[in-house]
Amino acid sequence: MRYGQLREPAFGVARSVQYAPQTLRKVTGCPLPTMAPYAAMDETHISIEQVSFSRGDRLIFDGISMEIPRGRITAIMGPSGTGKTTLLRLIGGQLVPDSGRVLVNGLEVASLSRRRLYELRKRMGMLFQSGALLTDLSVFENVAFPLREHSRMPEDMIRDMVLMKLQAVGLRGATELMPAELSGGMARRVALARSIVLDPEMIMYDEPFTGLDPITMGTIVTLIKRLNRALGITSLLVSHDVEETLSIADHVILISAGKVVEAGLPAELAASASPWVQQFIQGLPDGPVPFHYPAPDPLEQFLGGDHA
């Protein structure tokens, strides 16, 4: 997909998503470095091929396939419990698919040796829903953690790196706080600073918008967008917050019941004729996805007398 096409109101939907470089510069406040990330944008970074995965008796993915382009923001959306987080763990190599392949940079994650997997993970950032900050370390030490574990940098260099990344998320003043003293939004920003401290080539965001107040949510949206545009980091976003996600994603994949339901540009999705997609995007309580959990006939259950 070339971005030139995106500006055409081809689908008749007036979403406020614009990709013109001039607008971007205004939004992010960062100069666009080069067009290099865009030049490579059609290249596949992560590809998921016919992956099946089940947890216990429950089939979570049933031969799912998708491709995630390099340098773009891809959003994976779907109702709760459709295994969006599981998908991220499959990509990160924390889970192994029952069948099918997960390829990152053309390497099959599940077949990598432990050492190679760890090498790969150093180039992956992951932002957990909870932040997953180490509770016994201060904000500074949390951000410094990957550096201390993986490099033998001198102390003053670590300090500069950490302060730089904290500055990027606006928390340079919070270095000495402990994770318990942070609000949910601050914790997520610290976690974001930590996940970019090794300058990864991709970041996976697990439900980055859940449980935040509107201001913090706006901050996180801006940060995700800025990181992607400024550094060309492949961003994989898992969420069910429709509006925020559609506002920043370049590419959206909707999954449900272990399958890809719909994939495309945000605008394409909004215009989709599928009643399921419409129900999800507009947040309608009833539709193809029923309001009621499967239950016996109400008449029978309410009036049935004995509960046998």
Partner 1 sequence: MRTSRTQEIWVGIFVALGMLALFVLALRVSNYSSYTNGNQYHVYVYFENIGGLKVRSPVTLSGVTVGRVTSIDYDPDSLQAKVELGIEEKYNFLSTDTAASIYTAGLLGEQYIALEPGAEDETLAEGDEIIHSQSAMVLEELIGQFLVKMSSK
Partner 2 sequence: MLDLFAGLGAATLSALQRTGRGFIFLLRTLAGVPLLLARPGLLVKELFSTGVQSLLIILVSGLFVGMVLGLQGYVTLSKFGAEESLGVMVALSLVRELGPVVTALLFAGRAGSALTAEIGLMKSTEQLSGMEMMAVDPIHRVIAPRLTAGFIAMPILAALFSAVGILGGYLVGVGLLGVDAGSFMSQMQAGVDWRIDVLNGVIKSIAFGFVVTWIAVFEGYDAVPTSEGVSQATTRTVVHSALAVLALDFVLTGLMFT
Site residues (vs partner 2, CB under 8 A): 92, 94, 118-119, 121-122, 124, 126, 128-130, 132-135, 145-146, 149-150, 191, 194-195, 198
- Residue 141 binding: pick among partner 2, partner 1, none (C-beta 5-8 Å cut-off by kind): partner 1
Cβ 200 to partner 1 shortest distance, Å? 21
Cβ 21 to partner 2 shortest distance, Å? 32
Burial of 110 per CB tally in 10 Å (0-12, 13-18, 19+): middle
Cβ 158 to partner 1 shortest distance, Å? 11
Best CA proximity match to 168, nearest among 119, 213, 125: 125
Cβ 288 to partner 2 shortest distance, Å? 32
- Residue 3 binding: pick among partner 2, partner 1, none (C-beta 5-8 Å cut-off by kind): none
Cβ 173 to partner 2 shortest distance, Å? 24
Question: Which residues contact partner 1 by CB under 8 A?
Answer: 137, 141, 144-145, 148
Q: What is the SS3 string spanning the chain?
A: CCHHHHCCCCCCCCCCCCCCHHHHHHHHCCCCCCCHHHHCCCCEEEEEEEEEEEECCEEEEEEEEEEEECCCEEEEECCCCCCHHHHHHHHCCCCCCCEEEEEECCEEHHHCCHHHHHHHHHCEEEECCCCCCCCCCCHHHHHHHHHHHHCCCCHHHHHHHHHHHHHHCCCHHHCCCCHHHCCHHHHHHHHHHHHCCCCCCEEEEECCCCCCCHHHHHHHHHHHHHHHHHHCCEEEEEECCHHHHHHHCCEEEEEECCEEEEEECHHHHHCCCCHHHHHHHHCCCCCCCCCCCCCCCHHHHHHCCCCC
Q: Which is closer to partner 1, CB of 37 or CB of 146?
A: 146
- Residue 121 binding: pick among partner 1, partner 2, none (C-beta 5-8 Å cut-off by kind): partner 2
Cβ 152 to partner 2 shortest distance, Å? 10
Q: Which is closer to partner 2, CB of 7 or CB of 148?
A: 148
- Residue 135 binding: pick among partner 2, partner 1, none (C-beta 5-8 Å cut-off by kind): partner 2
Q: Which is closer to partner 2, CB of 192 or CB of 246?
A: 192
Cβ 236 to partner 2 shortest distance, Å? 13
- Residue 64 binding: pick among partner 2, partner 1, none (C-beta 5-8 Å cut-off by kind): none
Q: Which is closer to partner 1, CB of 42 or CB of 176?
A: 176
Q: Which is closer to partner 2, CB of 134 or CB of 157?
A: 134
Q: Which is closer to partner 1, CB of 155 or CB of 286?
A: 155
Q: Which is closer to partner 2, CB of 70 or CB of 121?
A: 121
C-alpha span between 160 and 247 (Å, rounded): 33
